[in-house]
Structure 1
């Protein structure tokens, strides 16, 4: 119960992005949409363990239930170190089977060498861009206009499918900015 009560903080931790209805998106909602994206991409990556990708999507921002969300364009190494320290401390309180699996997943995600980690990281960036495009333009900060045109480009280069998806998202961003 304690583990779930801590993780539940992600439902109340808001991101800088808004939903299409005009309220701040929660970190949990971001993770859910990423998981759904991974599910729908499973045919594009038959060589990947899509269940592992979904696990990565589910747990990737658990550190933010301890630190809150800091937008990627404001986050620095000190923020990342503090989040990792708090996260690993929390993970060590979990039953050993789950703690071990989580640590392994986090290390794999950090290294970004496996197909699963690369797919997860691409989805993380692409979901944020899609959500920005779904939100009202009035909610964007000035730096997001340029940011939305270039963010995640480096995360999709390993896959023709994800590169094409990134380009479609960019087109959607340009169309939105013309409004």
Structure 2
């Protein structure tokens, strides 16, 4: 790797560090707002832990897709699903931000990251379909595990990402378990 490539990679990594401070709408089990970097870490961990259940899947490709799927949020943040409106183009904003974020990288590495992100967005491979489903499941898992505010809308999660989580039998099985947990959390929150 040449000096310029190393410097460009370091510049990119410094910019990508912003994901550590990019907050999501979920809360950790200690009640602290969750960052996008934390979500991405556990999404990758889910992919690794569940990979034996996904026959014929390229695990490295799945992990790469998980790593880049929210990378564009480093610049303009996350838009929670409950606030996304019809006609808003979250995807276009993230793509534009990812182009800015990756500009210091060697053109080959930049092209690889952008292509992975596009593959994820289009769900154009079996790995991308799984990454999208796991992304939704990780979010629901965090909502069920987090110490959320009293007015947290658990019912939203019962419909959230239904298409993506029904794309594979293992995802659907996990979804069924998480839906039961979601209903229990919703009931418990009403009793308080």
Q: TM-score, normalised by structure 2?
A: 0.86
Give the 5 Å matches for 1:55-74.
Answer: 55-74=64-83
1:129 matched residue in structure 2:
140
| Ranges in structure 1 where 5+ consecutive residues have no aligned partner | none
Q: Matches of 1:31 and 1:140 in 2, distance apart?
A: 25
Can you give the 5+ residue segments of structure 2 that lack an aligned partner in the other structure? Answer: 1-9
- Matched with 1:151 is 160
Q: Distance in 1 between matches of 2:160 and 2:167?
A: 15
2:38 paired residue among 17, 29, 33: 29
- Taking the TM superposition and a 5 Å limit, the aligned residue runs for 1:79-118 are 79-118=90-129
Contact 1:6 1:65 in 2 (8 A): yes
User: Within 1, Cα distance between the matches of 2:29 and 2:151?
Assistant: 12
Shift of 1:156: 2.1
- CA apart distance, 1:65: 0.5
Q: Compared with structure 1, are the counterparts of its residues 82 and 171 closer, same or farther at alpha carbon in structure 2 (3 Å cutoff)?
A: same
Aligned-partner Cα distance in 2 for 1:110–1:175: 32
Aligned alpha-carbon RMSD (Å): 1.5
Between the two proteins, the alignment pairs up a number of residues equal to 177
TM-score of the aligned structures, taking structure 1 as reference length:
0.92
Larger mean Cα displacement after TM superposition, 132-141 or 31-40: 132-141
